[in-house]
Structure 1
Amino acid sequence: MNAHTDIRGRDIAGQSLARQANDIARDLTQADAKTYWLDLTVTAAVTWLSFWIAATAASPAWALVAGAVCVLALYRGISFIHELTHLRRDDVPGFHFAWNVLIGVPWLTPSLLYEGVHILHHAKDRYGTVRDPEYHPLARRPLHELGVFLGIAFLAPVGTLLRFGVLAPLGFLVPAARRFAIAKASGMVINTHFSREDFDRANSAPWLAQEIGAWLWCWTVVGLTVAGVLPLRVLVTAAAVFSLMTFLNQLRTAVAHRWDNDGEVMAPLDQFLDSVNVPPPALLPFLWAPVGLRYHALHHLMPRLPYHNLGIAHRRLVEALPADHDYRRAEERELVPAMGKLVGRMRRQRA
């Protein structure tokens, strides 16, 4: 069998898997507005209440407990940014705006950082290539790069402060600075070579409202802290919570894919198998892969499925497909075993 025949066969296999999945779960693509609103409301309330306790409690023990709750709640809240990129605005009217007000802008992570970028990760001719904003062939890199990949998450508070506290106002005065901010500092990406090209989007009302809102919020919080109105502890707590939340997300990202592609365009089946599901009976993904992120491979197979239906779709597929089907090959048991396999692949590549 020559290479062309093999690629053609994998294309057909991938298309067949996609058709099977759509036949089994096509009726689950409708977003349930009540679920989205209830989840966001409760998550935002827990985030801000736990943050207030962590930033003000006299007892160190209570502060630490509240801080841990805040990290997990904020992580769940921030994870909705992934849903926003696939959710049409008329699916759940007002949700994009509410999320940015409750979570995105106050935590300097407005949806502009993901909308228009993440969707490129799903393009079949981009996935796993140098044109993919969310792909880095970690499994082919030296092991120390995994440490850098994870450790850089702790600098997230510095990055967001610079982006919205410095680059945002500077960009409105200096066109070159604005082009840089849009191209290189306005995307939640892991491919450092990626540059945004959708400059027209940056002039849209939603983008400008989010950017200016984050800029003014940033200056207000920093100004109140410098003036002594807001205790320094509040800012330090926010930075610590945000750093730990970003690190947790980076851990999840490290096991969301196999990261083994060499930069060439991948067949649909290979794109699916390069992604990872961590389904039940694993329990901890509820915390480290919230809002449907535990079904990352299934999401790549059916991007329009809302997060609250991914578990149902997965169960249907498991019941309908043979135990040795390609669909089951995308599964991992938990975070630690999946991370161990990544480390093993990295070591073998460099041996």
Structure 2
Amino acid sequence: MTMHQTLSPMPLTAPPKATRVQFMAEDDKAMLRAVRDLTKGLGEAKPGIYWPDMLLSAGVGYAGIAIAILSGSLVVKIVAGLVAALALYRALMFIHELTHIHRAALPGFRTGWNLLVGIPLLTPSFMYEGVHTIHHKRTQYGTVEDPEYLPLALMKPWSLPLFVIVAILAPVALIVRAAVLVPLGAVIPAVRTFTWERFSALSINPEFRRRPPEGEFIGRVRWQEAGVFVWSWLLIGSTQVIGWQPLATALVILSLTALLNQLRTLVAHLWENEGEAMTVTAQFLDSVNVPPPGVAAEIWAPVGLRYHALHHLMPSMPYHDLPEAHRRLARELGTGSTYDGANHPGMAVLVGRIAKSTMGKRAA
């Protein structure tokens, strides 16, 4: 045996990542303490970041739609449409921030977002407020009561393409809801109840039924519903003046936006829970971070959503502070830690993992 052979290091393999199953009964309390201690000094929502980001995203998106409608060049239409879809996607994702930030943190931002983005895209903030927070409740995440959870990894293979493709119909469905169901519901209580329970929440769980609004939330729902009703009929009425082509172009662009969001939703979690209540750590490990160095995730998971698992540990952390929070935790806790278990390399790997799991179900 040569000296080189004697001193050659044994091949190293990366330790297996922590999984949800390991922490179903008990939290990793050391990690949770580290999250609390290492993120001190973060957490203040900054108007100087929120407002310019939202306004620029919305402005670029609407400009892109206008160019796609008015241009005579097919190439320009396609490029403008893609830019518009991505920009409006980013602008729309601020609805997620609105559900978590304190109402006093960003004066006027909720109203401004609804007027500039939520109502024009027929997705006002009430469709997420009071719904998304259920997804973060300790005893309801991943259960049948969670409006934003389906065990997709445990379902049949055909469920994945259906889950993604159905999103293409979202813009048309939103017009029907605002223009037809909302006014009918104003005069027919049964339609109003049906529309509220089934079509007034950004939910992916078909079993979810939304409870009636209460208190001051009722007033917010009413003015936002009035806004989408008026806007939907302005869109429909515009076809009698300028034809169907502008509206059809906008709907195609918004269908792409909805498709992007559905793809992001598909990889926001591992979807491996069968309805059991989970610890906070188990919820974290069933969720997904796609941290740098890759830049693609900043496009398909904007406004902090590339740190979705970390968000489940700190739901009220503003999106602009999540990158720094992740850097601190990754540096301190290191590779192989429980925290590292929620970090994944990208969308393709995650889709492949979920698809492989569903194929296993077919074989079973």
**TM-score w.r.t. length of structure 1:** 0.95
Quote the Cα distance in structure 2 between the aligned partners of 1:165 and 1:14. 49
Match of 2:300 in 1: 288
- How do 1:200-215 and structure 2 match up within 5 A? 200=214, 204-215=218-229
Match of 2:331 in 1: 319
Quote the Cα distance in structure 2 between the aligned partners of 1:14 and 1:86. 24
Which of 65, 88, 98 is the matching residue for 2:102? 88
Q: State yes or no: 1:32 paired with 2:46.
A: yes
Quote the Cα distance in structure 2 between the aligned partners of 1:172 and 1:103. 24
Contact persistence 2:289–2:309 (CA under 8 A): yes
Tell me the SS of whatever aligns to 1:162: helix
Q: State yes or no: 1:190 paired with 2:204.
A: yes
Q: 1:87 to 1:230 in 2, by over 3 A?
A: farther
- How do 1:272-351 and structure 2 match up within 5 A? 272-351=284-363
Quote the Cα distance in structure 2 between the aligned partners of 1:32 and 1:334. 29
Q: CA deviation at 1:205?
A: 1.9
Q: State yes or no: 1:111 paired with 2:125.
A: yes
Which of 269, 278, 298 is the matching residue for 1:257? 269
- Which structure has the larger Rg? 2
Tell me the SS of whatever aligns to 1:177: helix
> What amino acid is aligned across from residue 134 of structure 1 in structure 2?
E
Match of 2:249 in 1: 237
Q: CA deviation at 1:27?
A: 1.9
Q: State yes or no: 1:152 paired with 2:166.
A: yes
Quote the Cα distance in structure 2 between the aligned partners of 1:203 and 1:171. 18
Quote the Cα distance in structure 1 between the aligned partners of 2:197 and 2:360. 35
Runs of 4+ in 1 over 4 A off after TM superposition: 6-12
Q: CA deviation at 1:63?
A: 0.9
Match of 2:37 in 1: 23
- Structure 2 runs not aligned, ≥5 long: 1-19
Q: CA deviation at 1:203?
A: 6.5
Quote the Cα distance in structure 1 between the aligned partners of 2:302 and 2:21. 34
Deviations 1:45-70 (A, max 9, x none): 10111111011111111111100000
Quote the Cα distance in structure 1 between the aligned partners of 2:65 and 2:362. 43
Quote the Cα distance in structure 2 between the aligned partners of 1:119 and 1:144. 29
Contact persistence 1:113–1:187 (CA under 8 A): yes
Contact persistence 1:11–1:268 (CA under 8 A): no
Q: CA deviation at 1:11?
A: 5.0
Q: CA RMSD in A?
A: 1.7
- How do 1:43-82 and structure 2 match up within 5 A? 43-82=57-96
Q: CA deviation at 1:175?
A: 1.0
Tell me the SS of whatever aligns to 1:116: coil
**TM-score w.r.t. length of structure 2:** 0.91
Match of 2:116 in 1: 102
Quote the Cα distance in structure 2 between the aligned partners of 1:37 and 1:8. 41
Aligned residue pair count: 344
- Higher helix content, 1 or 2: 1
Quote the Cα distance in structure 2 between the aligned partners of 1:51 and 1:254. 26
Quote the Cα distance in structure 1 between the aligned partners of 2:216 and 2:354. 37
Tell me the SS of whatever aligns to 2:93: helix
Q: CA deviation at 1:201?
A: 5.8
Quote the Cα distance in structure 2 between the aligned partners of 1:111 and 1:240. 22
Q: State which drifts further: 324-333 or 340-349.
A: 340-349
Quote the Cα distance in structure 2 between the aligned partners of 1:298 and 1:287. 18
Deviations 1:128-147 (A, max 9, x none): 00000000000110110001
Q: CA deviation at 1:10?
A: 5.1
> What amino acid is aligned across from residue 124 of structure 2 in structure 1?
P
Q: State yes or no: 1:121 paired with 2:130.
A: no
> What amino acid is aligned across from residue 326 of structure 1 in structure 2?
T
Q: CA deviation at 1:117?
A: 0.2
Tell me the SS of whatever aligns to 1:258: coil
Match of 1:219 in 2: 233
Q: State which drifts further: 170-179 or 15-24.
A: 15-24
